[in-house]
A and B are shown apart, each in its own frame.
With several copies, the nearest count.
Chain A
Amino acid sequence: MNFEYSDEQALLSDAVTRFVSDRYGLAGVRSAAETKDGVTAANWQGMADMGLLGMPFPEQAGGFGGGPVETQIVMEAFGRGHVLDPWVGGVLLPGALLSALDPARLTELVPDVATGDLVLALAHEEDGARYVTAQVVTNARRCGNGWRLSGRKVNVLAGAAANRLFVTARTAGAEADEDGISVFEVPVDAPGLSRTAYRQYDGQTVAALTLDDVSLPDGALVGDEGEAFSALELALDTATAAICAEAVGATETMLHATVDYLKTRQQFGGPLSRFQVLQHRCAEMYVAVEQARSMALYAAVSLGLEDRDERRRAISAAKVQCAESARFAGQNAVQMHGGIGVTDELLVGHLFRRTTMIERQFGDAGHHLARLDRLGGLDNQMGE
């Protein structure tokens, strides 16, 4: 057992922390609001320069060989500074999918992803599917030597900025079957594809795609036909672990902001910090942050597990804890700031919107508790 960062990991942590504090925070919120596609060009270039855009890919593929712990380090720092640029959506999530489905294709793409020239995106979620991963109605049918895709995708992370799109579609099976889901690479200028950018409540820009009988060549199929589900689930679990770490960083910032605010803010003839109920609430927020940090680590480390069910249990348990900590810490940070906490004038209000979205992204606490339940709980202690 050893929780220590290696020297390289410690350097990465310092570098990302500096990068984030130089460029993000309230300033990052403003620059993100000015983009059309959700990517702040200068910051994205900065990430490329630091090696962050190639970080999660194997060195032989031209990446930097970072693993889940490095992702955890990056995402915690991103959370602390409220980074809205879509690193998870544009790099990590589609990268994890390709890495599992078609490593050769990934190797081709990595050099341009690492320089920032290519932004990837995975278009999977469909309207009304809620968190049911296998809920894919978009269909792909063989047509001569190729494929034709029709359907709608929503809330596509990095979807507005992406210049390489990977789209899930059903090639067999019924509406929510796990079998029969395939992944296709769809050129952004394919006839019949339209995309619309819009903002989410956390300030991220996402896209909705409409595929109206989009024609694709045979080589557009990524991996084996109808066999994408487990890679998809692994990729989503990878992204879930990442946003767990982001939640830790974001709640930590909210905690510190709240403590500072209470020490400064004068009311009824003294600083708010003299009220014991507020001090104790901050102590409870601290516990919430630390418990989330423990489980975010657990999630990161679990991504390497051979046993798929063990991984799923760990990810779901971590998401339950991080969602609950984000909820408790975020709501109390806002409460203790009072009026100013519910405006967009302080970073805390923006972070609260983000942690509120993180609670629900890739499945809310209820969804993950239900998944943990189906898998018999931790250590399968409640299984048959």
Chain B
Amino acid sequence: MELSFSPDELAFRAEVRAFIRDNLPEDIRAFAHRSGYYKADQVRRWQKILDSRGWAAGHWPVEFGGPGWTAVQRYIFNEELLRAPAPEPLSFNINMVGPVIYTFGTEEQKSRFLPKIRSLDWWFCQGFSEPGAGSDLAALKTSAVTDGDSYVINGQKIWTSTAQHADWMFALVRTDPKAPKKQMGISFLLIDMNTPGIDVRPIVTIDGEHHTNEVFFDNVRVPAENLIGEENKGWDYAKFLLGSERTGIARVGLSKGRMDRALELARVAPVYGGARLIEDPGFRQRALKLQVELKALEISALRIIDRQRRNPSDKPDAASSILKLRGAETQQASAELLADAAGPSAAPFFDFREMFSDNEVPQGVARADGAMRVHFAARPATIYGGASEVQKNIIAKAILGFKDKP
């Protein structure tokens, strides 16, 4: 029993910290600190830097360019990136489509896609959700009909984050509409986003930004060689993808980074009587309670990693639902603390899209311009990737053995 990191693990953490300090471009660091946000080109540049260090894909097998890290090293690496903050390797590429390809893809697919996925030369987006399906993913309707050596795709995807930047999409499409169960008859396709017939339309979210999209397919032709695995087995690959590498989902480092920033602001923000916000009893109580929750969550994450190390299993570990559930809540709580620390300085809307070029905010009006954006952007954390309600259903069924369908 040893809760602390070993000397080797601590050395690794120091190495990661030093690498970030020395190699993260200053403009990325400054922009993130100001906005809690990254631009697409910043994500690409940083991923190339990581790739040249061999750190682009922490949990990939060495033969495909992984660094051969332990689960603890992977955890440390992610947490350090989040807290720095520095961009994480794009999840669609590294955590999702990459593992699907090296597990189920052909040799040709592996050699064609994996290096470019790792280096982010090819940016992937995820085409799973559809309007009307909500959390019921398998209710998808987008159709793929075989025509010679191609599939012809028609339909619509929604909540397609970063589609506006993406070179490729990995998508679930319906290849057999007559299959007896809705989970059958679905295939997993890679779609070049430059193919004619694809229309990407922005969805603006409550943080005022354009992260996500609707994507329309009108007779889009996809070569059959872009099918992953077997036709009509796509649901299996999707389940594999959604269950993999969930120990980082607590994202404790992200919350810690927000807490760091909130305390930094609170040390200068005035309150009544000439004191600073950091001395305010209510603020301190909230910050202290959040520290305790984060510490508990961090240890819970490490406990689950450790258990998985000792009892490896292919099945997703239901206990990691704790990490998603409580992780999302603490991301929100830390974002809220940050917004509260910023106070009125967070009110002005900063348009990182530069869509409204006439909405010019005078220099110096606000010193905490990213705080409100971070607060709004944190709200979906309890919705996407399995909403909190879904995580509780999982715990109730898989861990507590409730059989009644709620």
Please determine if A and B sit in direct contact within the complex, based on CB atoms under 8 angstroms apart: yes
Interface of A toward B, CB cutoff 8 Å: 1-6, 9, 36, 69, 125, 127-132, 135, 152, 154-155, 176, 196, 198-201, 206, 208, 210, 255, 259, 262-263, 265-269, 271, 273-280, 282-284, 286-287, 290-295, 297-298, 301, 317, 320-321, 331, 334-335, 338-339, 341-345, 349, 352-353, 356-357, 360-361, 364, 366-367, 369-374, 377-378, 381-382
Are A3 and B307 in contact (CB-based, < 8 A)? yes
Are B263 and A130 in contact (CB-based, < 8 A)? no
Which one, A3, A349, A369, A373, contacts B1 given CB within 8 A?
Answer: A3
B21 on the interface (CB 8 Å rule)? no
Are A1 and B306 in contact (CB-based, < 8 A)? yes
B398 to chain A, nearest CB (A): 10
A67 to chain B, nearest CB (A): 9
Are A279 and B402 in contact (CB-based, < 8 A)? yes
Residues from chain B with a CB closer than 8 A to the CB of A321 are 292-293, 295-296
B9 to chain A, nearest CB (A): 6
Q: 9 other contacts beyond A201-B208, A360-B346, with CB at 8 A cut-off?
A: A1-B306, A127-B366, A255-B400, A298-B3, A301-B3, A335-B383, A339-B134, A366-B283, A382-B287
Are A276 and B297 in contact (CB-based, < 8 A)? no
Closest A residue to B129 using CB positions: A339
Binds A, one of B85-93, B187-195, B264-272: B264-272
Question: Are A259 and B6 CB-contacts (below 8 A) given A198-B362, A283-B395, A378-B295?
Answer: no
Q: How many angstroms from the CA of A381 to the CA of B380 in the assembled complex?
A: 28
Q: How many angstroms from the CA of A291 to the CA of B395 in the assembled complex?
A: 14
B10 to chain A, nearest CB (A): 10
Please provide the chain B residues from 348 to 383 with a CB less than 8 Å away from any CB of chain A in the complex.
348-349, 356, 358-362, 364-367, 372-373, 375-376, 379-380, 382-383
Are A130 and B4 in contact (CB-based, < 8 A)? no
Are A283 and B392 in contact (CB-based, < 8 A)? yes
Are A127 and B364 in contact (CB-based, < 8 A)? yes
Residues from chain A with a CB closer than 8 A to the CB of B359 are 198-199
Which one, A291, A353, A369, contacts B376 given CB within 8 A?
Answer: A353
Are B380 and A339 in contact (CB-based, < 8 A)? yes
Are B366 and A291 in contact (CB-based, < 8 A)? no
Can you spell out 15 A-B residue pairs with CB atoms less than 8 angstroms apart? A1-B6, A127-B364, A128-B270, A198-B359, A208-B362, A268-B136, A278-B389, A283-B395, A338-B135, A349-B205, A352-B379, A360-B346, A373-B284, A377-B288, A381-B259
A267 to chain B, nearest CB (A): 4
B273 to chain A, nearest CB (A): 8
Are B295 and A1 in contact (CB-based, < 8 A)? no
Which one, A176, A201, A342, contacts B347 given CB within 8 A?
Answer: A201
10 closest residue pairs by CB, A with B? A276-B406, A294-B299, A283-B395, A274-B404, A279-B396, A283-B392, A291-B296, A3-B306, A280-B392, A267-B134
Closest B residue to A331 using CB positions: B379
Are A344 and B204 in contact (CB-based, < 8 A)? yes
Residues from chain B with a CB closer than 8 A to the CB of A280 are 389, 392-393, 396, 406
Are B272 and A371 in contact (CB-based, < 8 A)? yes
A134 to chain B, nearest CB (A): 8
B80 to chain A, nearest CB (A): 15
Question: Are A273 and B404 CB-contacts (below 8 A) given A132-B271, A267-B136, A320-B289?
Answer: yes
B122 on the interface (CB 8 Å rule)? no
A240 to chain B, nearest CB (A): 14
Are A364 and B343 in contact (CB-based, < 8 A)? yes
1/0 per position for B309-320, CB-CB distance to A under 8 A? 010000000010
Q: How many angstroms from the CA of A6 to the CA of B319 in the assembled complex?
A: 23
B41 on the interface (CB 8 Å rule)? no
Closest A residue to B287 using CB positions: A382
Q: How many angstroms from the CA of A321 to the CA of B302 in the assembled complex?
A: 17
Are B376 and A268 in contact (CB-based, < 8 A)? no
Are A130 and B344 in contact (CB-based, < 8 A)? yes
Interface of B toward A, CB cutoff 8 Å: 1-6, 9, 72, 129, 132-136, 158-159, 203-206, 208, 259-260, 263, 268-272, 274, 277-278, 280-289, 291-293, 295-297, 299-300, 302-303, 306-307, 310, 319, 322, 325-326, 339-340, 343-349, 356, 358-362, 364-367, 372-373, 375-376, 379-380, 382-384, 387-389, 391-393, 395-396, 399-404, 406
Q: How many angstroms from the CA of A274 to the CA of B403 in the assembled complex?
A: 8
Residues from chain B with a CB closer than 8 A to the CB of A297 are 1, 3, 299, 303
Q: How many angstroms from the CA of A262 to the CA of B366 in the assembled complex?
A: 39
Residues from chain B with a CB closer than 8 A to the CB of A9 are 1
Which one, A129, A286, A373, contacts B399 given CB within 8 A?
Answer: A286
**Most B Cβ at <10 Å: residue of A9, A265, A287, A293:** A287
Are A370 and B206 in contact (CB-based, < 8 A)? no
A31 to chain B, nearest CB (A): 15
Q: How many angstroms from the CA of A278 to the CA of B375 in the assembled complex?
A: 23
Residues from chain B with a CB closer than 8 A to the CB of A349 are 205-206
Are B1 and A4 in contact (CB-based, < 8 A)? yes
B340 to chain A, nearest CB (A): 6
Are B4 and A1 in contact (CB-based, < 8 A)? yes
Q: How many angstroms from the CA of A286 to the CA of B318 in the assembled complex?
A: 12
Residues from chain A with a CB closer than 8 A to the CB of B360 are 196, 198
Are B300 and A344 in contact (CB-based, < 8 A)? no
Q: How many angstroms from the CA of A342 to the CA of B332 in the assembled complex?
A: 14
Q: How many angstroms from the CA of A66 to the CA of B164 in the assembled complex?
A: 52
Are A290 and B322 in contact (CB-based, < 8 A)? yes
Q: How many angstroms from the CA of A259 to the CA of B402 in the assembled complex?
A: 8
Are A279 and B288 in contact (CB-based, < 8 A)? no
Q: How many angstroms from the CA of A309 to the CA of B2 in the assembled complex?
A: 20
Question: Are A339 and B384 CB-contacts (below 8 A) given A127-B365, A155-B348, A382-B287?
Answer: yes
Are A198 and B365 in contact (CB-based, < 8 A)? yes
Are B404 and A128 in contact (CB-based, < 8 A)? no
Are A381 and B270 in contact (CB-based, < 8 A)? no
Residues from chain A with a CB closer than 8 A to the CB of B205 are 342-344, 349
Are A283 and B379 in contact (CB-based, < 8 A)? no
Which one, B134, B278, B344, B361, contacts A198 given CB within 8 A?
Answer: B361
Are A2 and B1 in contact (CB-based, < 8 A)? yes
Residues from chain A with a CB closer than 8 A to the CB of B291 are 317, 372, 377-378, 381
Which one, A131, A274, A353, A374, contacts B344 given CB within 8 A?
Answer: A131
Residues from chain B with a CB closer than 8 A to the CB of A356 are 372, 375-376
Residues from chain A with a CB closer than 8 A to the CB of B283 are 366
Are A259 and B401 in contact (CB-based, < 8 A)? yes
Q: How many angstroms from the CA of A331 to the CA of B382 in the assembled complex?
A: 10
B247 to chain A, nearest CB (A): 13
Residues from chain A with a CB closer than 8 A to the CB of B391 are 283
